[in-house]
Amino acid sequence: MTTRRSRGEGGLHWDETRERWIATATLGYDTRGKRITRKASGATKTAAKQKLREILRDHEDGLTIATTSYTVGEAVRYWLSFGLAGRSDATVANYTTIVERHVVPQLGARRLRDLSAEDVDKWLRAESRAVSTRTLRLMHSLLNRAVLHAQARDKVKRNVVALCAVPTGQDGRPSKSLNLAQAEALLVAAEGSPLHAYIVLSLLIGARTEELRALRWEQVDLEGQPDAWPPVPPSISVLRSVRVGGDTKTRKSRRRLAMPVRCVDALKKLHAGLGTTAPADALVFVSGAGTALDAHNVRRSFRKVTQAAGLDAKAWTPREMRHSFVSLLSDSGVPLEHISRLVGHSGTAVTEAVYRQQLRPVLEEGATAMDGIFPNRDAG
Protein backbone atom coordinates (compact mmCIF):
# COMPACT_ATOMS: atom_id res chain seq x y z
CA MET A 1 0.00 0.00 0.00
CA THR A 2 1.40 3.40 -1.02
CA THR A 3 1.88 5.74 1.92
CA ARG A 4 0.90 9.36 1.70
CA ARG A 5 3.78 11.84 1.81
CA SER A 6 3.99 13.98 4.89
CA ARG A 7 3.50 17.72 4.87
CA GLY A 8 6.58 19.42 3.47
CA GLU A 9 7.63 16.44 1.34
CA GLY A 10 6.05 17.89 -1.82
CA GLY A 11 3.58 16.35 -4.24
CA LEU A 12 3.44 14.36 -7.49
CA HIS A 13 0.73 14.33 -10.13
CA TRP A 14 0.27 13.20 -13.74
CA ASP A 15 -0.19 15.96 -16.31
CA GLU A 16 -2.33 14.64 -19.20
CA THR A 17 -1.51 17.59 -21.43
CA ARG A 18 2.24 17.25 -21.13
CA GLU A 19 2.14 13.51 -20.56
CA ARG A 20 4.70 13.83 -17.77
CA TRP A 21 4.83 13.44 -14.04
CA ILE A 22 5.00 16.81 -12.27
CA ALA A 23 6.79 17.26 -8.94
CA THR A 24 5.78 20.25 -6.84
CA ALA A 25 7.42 21.45 -3.62
CA THR A 26 6.32 24.28 -1.35
CA LEU A 27 9.33 26.04 0.14
CA GLY A 28 7.70 28.64 2.36
CA TYR A 29 6.54 32.18 1.70
CA ASP A 30 8.19 35.32 0.33
CA THR A 31 8.13 38.79 1.92
CA ARG A 32 4.71 39.48 0.35
CA GLY A 33 3.22 36.36 1.87
CA LYS A 34 3.11 34.58 -1.48
CA ARG A 35 3.77 30.85 -1.47
CA ILE A 36 7.18 29.86 -2.94
CA THR A 37 6.90 26.75 -5.09
CA ARG A 38 9.33 24.86 -7.23
CA LYS A 39 8.33 22.44 -9.96
CA ALA A 40 10.09 19.80 -12.00
CA SER A 41 8.95 17.10 -14.38
CA GLY A 42 9.93 13.60 -15.41
CA ALA A 43 8.86 11.09 -18.02
CA THR A 44 8.41 8.51 -15.26
CA LYS A 45 7.18 8.75 -11.71
CA THR A 46 10.58 7.63 -10.45
CA ALA A 47 12.36 10.39 -12.36
CA ALA A 48 9.94 12.99 -11.02
CA LYS A 49 10.44 11.70 -7.47
CA GLN A 50 14.20 12.04 -7.89
CA LYS A 51 13.85 15.65 -9.00
CA LEU A 52 11.51 16.34 -6.10
CA ARG A 53 14.15 15.00 -3.70
CA GLU A 54 16.75 17.30 -5.31
CA ILE A 55 14.50 20.32 -4.85
CA LEU A 56 13.90 19.49 -1.18
CA ARG A 57 17.59 18.75 -0.61
CA ASP A 58 18.56 22.07 -2.19
CA HIS A 59 16.05 23.79 0.06
CA GLU A 60 17.60 22.16 3.13
CA ASP A 61 21.03 23.31 1.95
CA GLY A 62 19.76 26.88 1.68
CA LEU A 63 19.44 27.01 -2.12
CA THR A 64 15.90 28.31 -2.03
CA ILE A 65 16.28 30.77 -4.93
CA ALA A 66 18.11 28.53 -7.37
CA THR A 67 16.29 27.50 -10.51
CA THR A 68 17.02 24.40 -12.53
CA SER A 69 17.06 26.41 -15.76
CA TYR A 70 19.81 28.86 -14.69
CA THR A 71 22.58 28.47 -17.27
CA VAL A 72 26.33 28.95 -17.38
CA GLY A 73 25.82 31.78 -19.87
CA GLU A 74 23.52 33.61 -17.46
CA ALA A 75 26.03 33.12 -14.64
CA VAL A 76 29.04 34.53 -16.51
CA ARG A 77 27.08 37.47 -17.93
CA TYR A 78 25.70 38.32 -14.51
CA TRP A 79 29.25 38.24 -13.13
CA LEU A 80 30.48 40.51 -15.92
CA SER A 81 27.72 42.99 -15.06
CA PHE A 82 27.96 42.95 -11.27
CA GLY A 83 31.19 41.24 -10.25
CA LEU A 84 33.83 43.55 -11.73
CA ALA A 85 33.34 46.73 -9.71
CA GLY A 86 36.43 48.93 -9.76
CA ARG A 87 37.89 47.35 -12.89
CA SER A 88 38.77 49.52 -15.86
CA ASP A 89 36.56 49.65 -18.95
CA ALA A 90 39.40 48.05 -20.93
CA THR A 91 39.57 45.11 -18.51
CA VAL A 92 35.80 44.59 -18.60
CA ALA A 93 35.82 44.75 -22.41
CA ASN A 94 38.67 42.23 -22.58
CA TYR A 95 36.93 39.81 -20.20
CA THR A 96 33.65 40.19 -22.08
CA THR A 97 35.32 39.38 -25.39
CA ILE A 98 36.91 36.23 -23.98
CA VAL A 99 33.66 35.09 -22.38
CA GLU A 100 31.58 35.68 -25.49
CA ARG A 101 34.14 34.09 -27.80
CA HIS A 102 35.29 31.09 -25.77
CA VAL A 103 32.94 30.36 -22.86
CA VAL A 104 29.37 31.08 -23.97
CA PRO A 105 29.46 29.28 -27.38
CA GLN A 106 30.68 26.02 -25.81
CA LEU A 107 29.21 26.03 -22.30
CA GLY A 108 26.68 28.86 -22.22
CA ALA A 109 23.56 26.73 -22.80
CA ARG A 110 24.56 24.20 -20.15
CA ARG A 111 22.47 24.35 -16.98
CA LEU A 112 24.76 25.54 -14.21
CA ARG A 113 23.65 22.90 -11.73
CA ASP A 114 24.37 20.18 -14.32
CA LEU A 115 27.84 21.48 -15.21
CA SER A 116 30.36 18.79 -14.36
CA ALA A 117 34.12 18.73 -13.97
CA GLU A 118 34.20 16.45 -17.01
CA ASP A 119 32.42 19.14 -19.07
CA VAL A 120 35.04 21.68 -18.03
CA ASP A 121 37.94 19.30 -18.70
CA LYS A 122 36.68 18.58 -22.23
CA TRP A 123 36.11 22.28 -22.88
CA LEU A 124 39.62 23.22 -21.76
CA ARG A 125 41.18 20.42 -23.78
CA ALA A 126 39.33 21.48 -26.94
CA GLU A 127 40.27 25.13 -26.46
CA SER A 128 43.93 24.24 -25.81
CA ARG A 129 44.27 23.35 -29.50
CA ALA A 130 43.54 26.94 -30.52
CA VAL A 131 44.68 29.35 -27.78
CA SER A 132 47.85 29.98 -25.80
CA THR A 133 48.42 28.65 -22.31
CA ARG A 134 48.14 32.18 -20.89
CA THR A 135 44.75 32.72 -22.56
CA LEU A 136 43.61 29.28 -21.44
CA ARG A 137 44.44 30.11 -17.83
CA LEU A 138 42.53 33.37 -18.11
CA MET A 139 39.49 31.59 -19.58
CA HIS A 140 39.53 29.09 -16.71
CA SER A 141 39.92 31.93 -14.20
CA LEU A 142 36.97 33.88 -15.60
CA LEU A 143 34.66 30.86 -15.54
CA ASN A 144 35.87 29.91 -12.08
CA ARG A 145 35.17 33.38 -10.70
CA ALA A 146 31.75 33.53 -12.38
CA VAL A 147 30.66 30.20 -10.90
CA LEU A 148 32.06 31.18 -7.50
CA HIS A 149 30.04 34.39 -7.76
CA ALA A 150 26.92 32.35 -8.56
CA GLN A 151 27.65 29.95 -5.72
CA ALA A 152 27.74 32.84 -3.25
CA ARG A 153 24.26 33.79 -4.48
CA ASP A 154 22.80 30.31 -4.00
CA LYS A 155 22.58 29.52 -7.69
CA VAL A 156 24.64 26.34 -7.46
CA LYS A 157 25.89 24.09 -4.67
CA ARG A 158 29.54 23.77 -5.59
CA ASN A 159 32.09 25.13 -8.01
CA VAL A 160 33.31 22.25 -10.17
CA VAL A 161 35.52 24.59 -12.23
CA ALA A 162 37.91 24.98 -9.30
CA LEU A 163 38.50 21.21 -9.39
CA CYS A 164 39.85 21.24 -12.95
CA ALA A 165 43.48 21.68 -13.96
CA VAL A 166 44.41 23.86 -16.92
CA PRO A 167 46.20 21.96 -19.73
CA THR A 168 49.03 23.37 -21.78
CA GLY A 169 47.86 25.44 -24.72
CA GLN A 170 49.59 26.70 -27.85
CA ASP A 171 52.77 28.73 -27.74
CA GLY A 172 52.01 32.41 -27.34
CA ARG A 173 53.94 35.36 -28.68
CA PRO A 174 57.57 34.65 -27.76
CA SER A 175 59.10 36.88 -25.13
CA LYS A 176 62.20 38.64 -26.42
CA SER A 177 64.57 41.45 -25.61
CA LEU A 178 66.97 43.76 -27.41
CA ASN A 179 70.63 42.89 -27.38
CA LEU A 180 73.19 45.55 -26.51
CA ALA A 181 73.74 46.66 -30.11
CA GLN A 182 70.00 46.90 -30.79
CA ALA A 183 69.41 48.81 -27.57
CA GLU A 184 72.14 51.30 -28.38
CA ALA A 185 70.72 51.75 -31.90
CA LEU A 186 67.27 52.40 -30.42
CA LEU A 187 68.64 55.03 -28.03
CA VAL A 188 70.43 56.80 -30.89
CA ALA A 189 67.33 56.69 -33.12
CA ALA A 190 65.19 58.11 -30.31
CA GLU A 191 67.25 61.30 -30.06
CA GLY A 192 65.19 64.24 -31.26
CA SER A 193 61.92 62.30 -31.19
CA PRO A 194 59.05 63.20 -28.82
CA LEU A 195 59.54 59.82 -27.18
CA HIS A 196 63.26 60.24 -26.50
CA ALA A 197 63.18 60.59 -22.70
CA TYR A 198 60.43 57.98 -22.44
CA ILE A 199 62.49 55.38 -24.31
CA VAL A 200 65.65 56.20 -22.36
CA LEU A 201 63.87 55.70 -19.03
CA SER A 202 62.08 52.54 -20.17
CA LEU A 203 65.29 50.95 -21.33
CA LEU A 204 67.66 52.15 -18.61
CA ILE A 205 65.54 51.87 -15.43
CA GLY A 206 62.97 49.23 -16.47
CA ALA A 207 59.83 51.08 -15.38
CA ARG A 208 56.51 49.78 -16.68
CA THR A 209 54.89 51.76 -19.47
CA GLU A 210 51.84 52.51 -17.28
CA GLU A 211 54.16 53.82 -14.55
CA LEU A 212 55.98 56.21 -16.88
CA ARG A 213 52.75 57.55 -18.36
CA ALA A 214 51.64 58.51 -14.82
CA LEU A 215 55.00 60.06 -13.82
CA ARG A 216 54.84 63.70 -12.65
CA TRP A 217 57.63 66.23 -12.29
CA GLU A 218 57.22 66.33 -8.51
CA GLN A 219 58.36 62.68 -8.48
CA VAL A 220 61.55 63.51 -10.39
CA ASP A 221 64.75 64.61 -8.66
CA LEU A 222 67.20 65.75 -11.33
CA GLU A 223 69.91 66.96 -8.97
CA GLY A 224 70.03 64.58 -6.04
CA GLN A 225 72.14 65.50 -3.01
CA PRO A 226 75.79 65.10 -4.02
CA ASP A 227 77.06 66.78 -0.82
CA ALA A 228 75.13 64.45 1.50
CA TRP A 229 76.72 61.41 3.11
CA PRO A 230 76.24 59.03 1.59
CA PRO A 231 75.56 61.04 -1.61
CA VAL A 232 71.99 60.82 -2.95
CA PRO A 233 71.91 60.36 -6.75
CA PRO A 234 69.25 61.84 -9.06
CA SER A 235 66.18 59.62 -8.96
CA ILE A 236 62.53 59.14 -9.78
CA SER A 237 59.86 57.90 -7.38
CA VAL A 238 57.47 55.39 -8.89
CA LEU A 239 54.31 55.94 -6.87
CA ARG A 240 51.45 55.77 -9.34
CA SER A 241 50.34 54.24 -12.63
CA VAL A 242 47.54 54.73 -15.12
CA ARG A 243 45.71 51.71 -13.68
CA VAL A 244 42.23 52.23 -12.20
CA GLY A 245 42.58 54.22 -8.99
CA GLY A 246 46.12 55.25 -9.90
CA ASP A 247 47.73 52.49 -7.84
CA THR A 248 50.84 50.65 -8.93
CA LYS A 249 50.55 46.99 -9.84
CA THR A 250 51.69 45.76 -6.41
CA ARG A 251 52.85 47.38 -3.19
CA LYS A 252 56.47 46.57 -4.04
CA SER A 253 56.02 48.36 -7.35
CA ARG A 254 56.29 51.57 -5.34
CA ARG A 255 59.99 52.26 -5.42
CA ARG A 256 62.60 54.98 -5.78
CA LEU A 257 65.05 54.41 -8.60
CA ALA A 258 68.40 56.08 -9.08
CA MET A 259 68.82 57.31 -12.64
CA PRO A 260 71.76 56.69 -14.98
CA VAL A 261 73.36 59.82 -16.44
CA ARG A 262 71.64 59.35 -19.82
CA CYS A 263 68.24 59.39 -18.09
CA VAL A 264 69.09 62.59 -16.20
CA ASP A 265 70.31 64.29 -19.38
CA ALA A 266 67.21 63.26 -21.34
CA LEU A 267 64.85 64.53 -18.64
CA LYS A 268 66.75 67.81 -18.25
CA LYS A 269 66.51 68.37 -22.00
CA LEU A 270 62.77 67.58 -21.89
CA HIS A 271 62.23 69.94 -18.94
CA ALA A 272 64.19 72.75 -20.60
CA GLY A 273 62.07 72.37 -23.73
CA LEU A 274 58.95 73.31 -21.79
CA GLY A 275 60.08 76.96 -21.92
CA THR A 276 58.51 77.84 -18.59
CA THR A 277 58.67 76.15 -15.25
CA ALA A 278 56.33 73.19 -15.36
CA PRO A 279 53.89 72.82 -12.44
CA ALA A 280 55.07 70.25 -9.94
CA ASP A 281 52.01 68.09 -10.53
CA ALA A 282 52.29 68.21 -14.34
CA LEU A 283 52.80 64.97 -16.22
CA VAL A 284 56.33 64.41 -17.49
CA PHE A 285 55.26 62.71 -20.70
CA VAL A 286 52.41 64.20 -22.71
CA SER A 287 51.14 64.09 -26.27
CA GLY A 288 51.72 66.81 -28.85
CA ALA A 289 48.44 68.38 -27.73
CA GLY A 290 49.61 68.46 -24.13
CA THR A 291 47.28 65.69 -22.98
CA ALA A 292 48.17 62.50 -21.14
CA LEU A 293 49.75 59.79 -23.26
CA ASP A 294 47.75 56.67 -23.89
CA ALA A 295 48.98 53.27 -25.03
CA HIS A 296 48.17 54.06 -28.67
CA ASN A 297 50.26 57.26 -28.58
CA VAL A 298 53.24 55.37 -27.25
CA ARG A 299 52.98 52.45 -29.68
CA ARG A 300 52.60 54.72 -32.68
CA SER A 301 55.66 56.83 -31.80
CA PHE A 302 57.66 53.76 -30.76
CA ARG A 303 57.16 52.13 -34.16
CA LYS A 304 58.71 55.16 -35.87
CA VAL A 305 61.76 55.00 -33.61
CA THR A 306 62.26 51.24 -34.04
CA GLN A 307 62.04 51.63 -37.80
CA ALA A 308 64.64 54.43 -37.69
CA ALA A 309 66.86 52.11 -35.62
CA GLY A 310 66.77 49.50 -38.39
CA LEU A 311 64.48 47.14 -36.45
CA ASP A 312 61.28 45.49 -37.59
CA ALA A 313 58.67 47.94 -36.27
CA LYS A 314 55.96 45.26 -36.17
CA ALA A 315 58.09 42.85 -34.16
CA TRP A 316 58.71 45.07 -31.15
CA THR A 317 56.45 46.64 -28.51
CA PRO A 318 57.18 49.26 -25.80
CA ARG A 319 56.90 46.69 -22.99
CA GLU A 320 59.87 44.80 -24.44
CA MET A 321 62.15 47.64 -23.40
CA ARG A 322 61.49 46.48 -19.84
CA HIS A 323 62.36 42.92 -20.88
CA SER A 324 65.54 44.30 -22.42
CA PHE A 325 66.42 46.06 -19.16
CA VAL A 326 66.21 42.72 -17.34
CA SER A 327 68.21 40.95 -20.03
CA LEU A 328 71.02 43.50 -20.14
CA LEU A 329 71.36 43.54 -16.35
CA SER A 330 71.36 39.74 -16.22
CA ASP A 331 74.04 39.53 -18.91
CA SER A 332 76.11 42.00 -16.87
CA GLY A 333 76.01 39.66 -13.86
CA VAL A 334 73.51 41.56 -11.70
CA PRO A 335 71.92 39.09 -9.22
CA LEU A 336 68.29 38.10 -9.73
CA GLU A 337 67.33 39.53 -6.33
CA HIS A 338 68.57 42.99 -7.34
CA ILE A 339 66.79 42.84 -10.71
CA SER A 340 63.57 41.81 -8.98
CA ARG A 341 63.66 44.88 -6.71
CA LEU A 342 64.50 47.22 -9.57
CA VAL A 343 61.53 46.12 -11.69
CA GLY A 344 59.13 46.21 -8.73
CA HIS A 345 58.30 42.51 -8.51
CA SER A 346 56.95 41.05 -5.28
CA GLY A 347 59.65 38.37 -5.34
CA THR A 348 62.24 36.65 -7.48
CA ALA A 349 59.77 33.93 -8.47
CA VAL A 350 57.76 36.49 -10.46
CA THR A 351 60.88 37.79 -12.20
CA GLU A 352 62.03 34.31 -13.10
CA ALA A 353 58.61 33.18 -14.31
CA VAL A 354 57.95 36.24 -16.49
CA TYR A 355 61.45 36.95 -17.75
CA ARG A 356 62.96 33.46 -17.79
CA GLN A 357 64.17 33.86 -21.40
CA GLN A 358 65.90 37.12 -20.51
CA LEU A 359 67.80 35.82 -17.48
CA ARG A 360 71.30 34.43 -17.76
CA PRO A 361 70.80 30.69 -18.34
CA VAL A 362 74.12 29.58 -16.79
CA LEU A 363 74.63 30.35 -13.08
CA GLU A 364 78.35 30.83 -12.72
CA GLU A 365 78.74 32.03 -9.11
CA GLY A 366 79.03 28.56 -7.57
CA ALA A 367 81.61 27.31 -10.06
CA THR A 368 83.67 30.50 -9.74
CA ALA A 369 83.68 30.28 -5.94
CA MET A 370 84.62 26.59 -5.92
CA ASP A 371 87.46 27.17 -8.37
CA GLY A 372 88.88 29.57 -5.79
CA ILE A 373 88.35 27.15 -2.91
CA PHE A 374 89.60 24.08 -4.75
CA PRO A 375 92.09 25.24 -7.39
CA ASN A 376 93.08 22.84 -10.14
CA ARG A 377 96.35 21.24 -8.99
CA ASP A 378 97.28 20.29 -12.54
CA ALA A 379 97.06 23.90 -13.73
CA GLY A 380 100.44 25.50 -14.23
For the question of whether the overall pTM of this predicted structure is more than 0.95, the answer is: no
Per-residue pLDDT of the chain (380 residues; tens, 9 = 90+): 445 555 556 788 888 888 888 888 777 666 677 777 777 788 888 888 887 777 777 766 655 544 568 899 999 999 999 999 888 888 899 999 999 999 999 999 999 988 999 999 999 999 999 999 989 999 999 999 999 999 888 888 889 999 999 999 888 777 788 999 999 999 999 998 989 999 999 999 988 888 999 899 999 999 989 898 988 999 998 888 877 666 777 777 888 989 999 999 999 999 888 766 678 888 999 888 888 888 888 999 999 999 999 999 888 999 999 999 998 888 888 888 888 888 888 888 878 877 766 776 666 666 667 667 667 666 55
3-state DSSP assignment of residue 196: helix
Give the count of beta carbons closer than 10 Å to the beta carbon of residue 34: 8
CA distance 216 to 212: 9
Contact indicator for 254, 240 with CB cutoff of 8 Å: no
**Which of 337, 298, 338, 293 is closest to 321 using CA atoms?**
298
CA distance 199 to 209: 10
Which residues are known to be catalytic? 208, 249, 322, 345, 355
